[in-house]
Structure 1
């Protein structure tokens, strides 16, 4: 699975690739930025590495710069939509890739993908002190729905 728009490219991370990323065992064509993955992405990558391959469209993807195809971040769904049609996602970029619109483009592209595959609502959260992430979610049409501790909760209907 590859999703693309002019500013960003999303490529599926398989369990085998997740194992290589965690082990830092890059093969030709993997094309990871030297700072990828970032610390916050290691737990989801380890979980994916321990799983079986799946054809589910609700998985983890590498966020890549189209010109270089370098992986500079990740975006992942926390499983398929629940009974209400809600899907949760998270994302992040290495510091060198921030501030260029890649995260906003990746989230927008991923939400269109989720809608195509039947999700009716998307939710995400971010830390209260992460203004850049809040702006990314807002640019993608998500609205603040509440706060829980140090988290700001966001949601958007996809219908």
Structure 2
């Protein structure tokens, strides 16, 4: 299944294929892979590992997959964003994201998250949830800027949600 790129004003969210995700997990870059310094990060490797396990267990997830966050002007990958899997039994998906240090503080994460939330809404989910460590106010601001609201704090995490 060919999933199209998701475009924003400054970014392209590139849907990952198994081949690209395997390269990210192994941190093996080909000439065609334009990666910013520091990419992939540990979170990208974990997210791609989860994507690969999900494909092996359930098949292609359609839009509910991992994406690279690329700068549209250069095509350079500066981070990752994606769903932890398909919607649960009540139609809710979980999202995660991360950027290399050099790309932080520019609004890219919120821009990417807004685009991914719209992808989820169009796909018919009931809502999207995410969480961040209590000591990560930057990530809290990202989710709030994308329209998610804090709904709980527990076990060292702040939990966010947006319903459709």
Question: What TM-score, normalized to structure 1?
Answer: 0.93
**Deviation of residue 47 (structure 1)?**
3.1
Task: Give every structure 1 segment of 4 or more consecutive aligned residues whose post-TM-superposition deviation is greater than 4 Å.
Answer: none
Counterpart-to-counterpart distance in 2, 1:59 and 1:47: 9
Question: What TM-score, normalized to structure 2?
Answer: 0.90
Counterpart-to-counterpart distance in 2, 1:78 and 1:11: 16
1:136 paired with 2:139, answer no
1:119 maps to what in 2?
125
Which residues in structure 2 correspond to 1:1-159 (within 5 Å)? 1-50=4-53, 51-52=55-56, 54=60, 56-158=62-164
RMSD over equivalenced CA pairs, Å: 1.4
Deviations 1:24-47 (A, max 9, x none): 222233211131011222222223
Counterpart-to-counterpart distance in 2, 1:151 and 1:98: 21
**Deviation of residue 84 (structure 1)?**
1.4
**Deviation of residue 19 (structure 1)?**
1.1
Unpaired segments of 5 or more residues in structure 1? none
Distance verdict in 2 for CA 1:55–1:147, change over 3 Å: closer
Secondary structure of the structure 2 residue equivalent to 1:9: strand
Counterpart-to-counterpart distance in 1, 2:115 and 2:156: 27
State how many pairs are aligned: 158
